[in-house]
Structure 1
């Protein structure tokens, strides 16, 4: 089953059909915002895709047709450096992003064979076993319930990463975030749904949804000072496990840690059975 990552990069499309509709009108990006997007793309997202144990996937990157040529050249250099032969840039005029991705998928000519479409948001990074785990769950989900419109999947747990001056300074485990980790759709490419066209509030209510629960953390998202306050120290065990999945965490960092928290001892309930038998 093929996997397609879909990412909007420096693209101000028309409002509507987005994962959290926060604005009522499209706006342009400032130079500082574009530079930040390039930095996060090069620092987090592309290295995490390059490091995948399962390299069988493609990245579809949607950007503005009006991007300056220097920006287009640098973007192509990054993609050819990190994902040679496994990426495609879709240049488009302002449109609803999800509709652009849907049109692209409908035109790839894969017939009725199901594929996985995974949404990549700004600041997203994926553990080295993400594609492997995603494909396993996608095949299992499609075999169990081959929905005509497809089935959505997301990872229940992930990590928030705080960056300052390109250096990781905070890490936090997050469960059931407002914006799902690794939101994906298992469906035929000719279908009408796309991860960028739905509101997460409808997952599991109006739209079939599988919440993937794993002990390992396969998704990470960069957050800024405007999103969260300073992150609390993370358990040393969690940081060590995350470093096995994300190469960026193995570089020089200033992430505060705390001692591993002991799990509470299980309560002995054997005496309850004895009391019931004697009653």
Structure 2
């Protein structure tokens, strides 16, 4: 009887909003490995280098965005955090690219400490009627599988009654692909992480709580929060290339996979053909 009453109470006051956050060459103070210690002028020159931005847009437009547009559960918001100083040509290109995404919006902020910018962005995107927010992180060169949002929503709804409505809950997936880009041909690896990967990782909190998924190193979430990661779903594609900010290593099992073997798995879980990724 006690459980059923708790379930009724949760249903009456629980409204969870799914909100993703992508840092799109945002010039924060801290928060990234590359450029640590740079002054503002050097940071802007590096981030806004036209050749670099062209590479970032190429991956975003061909990999990251199509995966967002293909979500089976489209009831989510996606914040694209940029600097106010991002040149108009790139801001306009981003705005045009995300126009078909129903919950997509650009948030432009001045440079500030990294976590402050993250908190402000999530606050801007959280509707006043939400009781909880499930905030997830995604980089502009990676992809989530087409059922990621729906699966994450289901995880949260089933786990929160156990974990507690008033404390943070971290959810994510540990299995996916690493796509290593090489001049002589891209190579695919199947990965099962043993500690949480940041790609698509989410934290559910009561609305208004300052804690969010960027608060801690994602590898250590289990040390600080109730954490559940799905090791079965083929949930992500992480690209490995020279522009990666952090060292793209797997914490668990990693095995090369041939394109012929991977083709049916890619088609089943992502809006791509294997050939698309091989040529990316």
Asked whether the two chains share a fold, i.e. TM above 0.5, the reply is: yes
What SS does the aligned partner of 1:159 have?
Answer: strand
**Which protein is richer in helix relative to its size?**
2
Say whether residues 1:145 and 2:163 are aligned partners: yes
- Which residue is 1:6 aligned to? 21
Match of residue 120, structure 2, among 103, 107, 118:
103
Q: 1:52, CA displacement in angstroms?
A: 0.9
- Which residue is 1:196 aligned to? 214
- Which residue is 1:25 aligned to? 37
Q: 1:131, CA displacement in angstroms?
A: 1.0
- Which residue is 1:248 aligned to? 272
5+ residue gaps, structure 2, are 1-15, 250-254
| Distance in structure 2 (CA, Å) of the matches to 1:43 and 1:252 | 9
RMSD (Å), alpha carbons: 2.8
Contact residue 168 and residue 253 of structure 1 kept, 8 A: no
Return closer, same or farther for 1:21/1:207 CA change in 2, 3 Å cut-off.
farther
Q: Which has the higher Rg, Structure 1 or Structure 2?
A: 1
Q: How does 1:7-86 map to 2 (within 5 A)?
A: 7-15=22-30, 18=31, 21=33, 24-26=36-38, 27-28=43-44, 29=47, 30-80=49-99, 82-83=100-101, 85-86=102-103
Bigger mean CA offset, 115-124 vs 239-248: 239-248
- Which residue is 2:238 aligned to? 221
Question: Structure 1-normalised TM-score?
Answer: 0.78
What SS does the aligned partner of 1:196 have?
Answer: coil
Say whether residues 1:154 and 2:172 are aligned partners: yes
Q: 1:124, CA displacement in angstroms?
A: 1.4
The size of the alignment, in residue pairs, is 247
- Which residue is 2:223 aligned to? 205
| Distance in structure 2 (CA, Å) of the matches to 1:251 and 1:234 | 12
5+ residue gaps, structure 1, are 256-279
Q: 1:168, CA displacement in angstroms?
A: 7.5
